[in-house]
Amino acid sequence: MSVASASIHGLAYYKPRLEATFRLFCFPYAGGSALIYRQWANHLPRQVEVCPVQLPGRGHRLREAPLNRMSPLVEVVAQQIRELSGQPFAFFGHSMGATIAFEIARLLRRERAPQPLHLFVSGRSAPQVPETRTPTYNLPEPELIEDLRRLNGTPSEIFDEPDMLNVMLPLIRTDFEVVQTYAYEDEPALDCPITVYGGLQDQEVKRENLNAWCAQTTAPFRVRLFPGDHFFINANRELLLETLTRDLYEHRLL
């Protein structure tokens, strides 16, 4: 598959760069899409080719059935990575996207395929930390909507548009099911560096659970905290991208 056709199928808002030396694959949070990363290419160095991954069931992949378990979702997305792994690359994922990125990195290692040079994970507890909260993906609709309001990641105007909300809720349920049924399996730590980003006011992810990602790498590890709640990557996008740029240079990825 060519880069152009891969961008139509697996990626969205993808802008090939002839001068790029490095690809950054970006994975969305639950209920989100590649739209989250639409503007990132405008704020990162020209050497970076931003590759926003579009998951099944959203955007131009709306006709594809969304997947409700982590393993098949990782298999589908990993195929897109394999087709574009001719250049050095890294992963960035927020919340659900962090777990997807982590599991794809492990899958590629098992296959002895090209692997990411760096893993940037954001707004997500380390995968080996047991989930103690009650699942919400199967809540009645009013309770699910209330939970979404509490998380503060859904634009408020969507709650006032019943048609839009009816389209979004099944996808959100499915993504929540992916996250809340995920079962971590022990494997050796990765040998790529891991950088963890977190929100100072994030009530969903404890600081110690961010620190726990250190067990998943034998390489350098760092935690960086930003002002904001669980969705600090939207509220503080400029600061995050400035920090990400510094991290890319510091780790000699550019």
Helix, strand, coil % (nearest 5) of the chain?
Answer: 45, 15, 45
Exactly one of 33, 71, 85, 95 is catalytic; name it: 95
How remote is the C-alpha of 23 from its chain's centroid? 15
Strand partners, 194: 119, 221
First to last CA, the chain: 26
Residue with structure tokens 């047991």?
Answer: 130
Q: 95 an active-site residue? A: yes
How far from chain centre, in Å, is Cα 174?
A: 16
Please say whether the dihedral angle defined by the alpha carbons of residues 174, 176, 181 and 185, taken in this order, is positive or negative. Answer: positive
| Residue of 133, 37, 35, 22 lying closest to 86 (CA atoms) | 22
Q: Are 3 and 16 in contact (CB under 8 A)?
A: yes
Beta bridge partners of 121: 93, 196
Residues with Cβ within 8 Å of residue 132, at least 6 apart in sequence: none
CB 197 within 8 A of CB 233: yes
What is the set of active-site residues? 95
